[in-house]
Amino acid sequence: MRFIKTIAIACLLLITSAITAQELKFGHVNVQELIMELPDKKDADTKLQAEAQILQDRLKVMSEEHEKKYRDYIAQRETMPELIRTTMEKEIQDIEQRLQNYQLMAQQTLQKKEQELYQPILEKVQRAIDAVGQEQGLIYIFDISSQVVLYHSEKSLDCGPLVKAKLK
């Protein structure tokens, strides 16, 4: 009887280990490469560059205004009355402050625009990766462009072509 129990337990352990020893499937993809190849990314880059150019042009006008005001001040400061000199210095400081504020606001505007343009692209790529992972029965898909994965073997499924197909 004891022998039968031992064999039954051994069989039970063997069956459960066989069930849990399924092959774990992993995949990898270069997300950065995928994104760079998307037409949506190129369109977003063009829009972002156009926005940056508009902001840069306005900054140039403001800088030229500052330069002119400063040159006028330097040329006339020795001969102008104290009140006018103080007023011009204040105006120059105000222009400098506006320039700094504008640069900060322009940077924030560009960051917000970048987020607005690229977020849908990232979500689209993520949906494609999720779909490939589910279809291929993968446990994980690693992004090899992030330098986080230190090793992947040939057994790891390259999901790049599959994700590219989903994105088309």
Q: With contact defined as beta carbons under 8 Å apart, do 59 and 103 qualify?
A: yes
What CATH architecture does domain 25-167 belong to?
2-Layer Sandwich (3.30)
Which residue did the predictor score with more confidence, 13 or 101? Answer: 101
Lowest-pLDDT range, 32-36, 107-111, 157-161? 157-161
Average pLDDT, the chain: 85
Position 16 pLDDT exceeds 60: no
Of the pLDDT bands very low, low, confident and very high (cuts 50, 70, 90), residue 18 is very low
Of the pLDDT bands very low, low, confident and very high (cuts 50, 70, 90), residue 168 is confident
Domain edges within the chain: 25-167
Cross-strand partners of 30? none
Nearest to 110 by CA among 167, 33, 52, 160: 52
Please measure the distance between the N-terminal and C-terminal CA atoms of the chain and give it in whole angstroms. 64
Which residue did the predictor score with more confidence, 36 or 146? Answer: 36
> pTM of this prediction?
0.70
Q: With contact defined as beta carbons under 8 Å apart, do 95 and 62 qualify?
A: yes
Q: With contact defined as beta carbons under 8 Å apart, do 124 and 167 qualify?
A: yes
Lowest-pLDDT range, 28-37, 96-105, 129-138, 146-155? 146-155
Of the pLDDT bands very low, low, confident and very high (cuts 50, 70, 90), residue 28 is confident
Q: Where are the alpha helices (DSSP H) in the chain?
A: 2-20, 31-37, 39-76, 82-136, 160-167
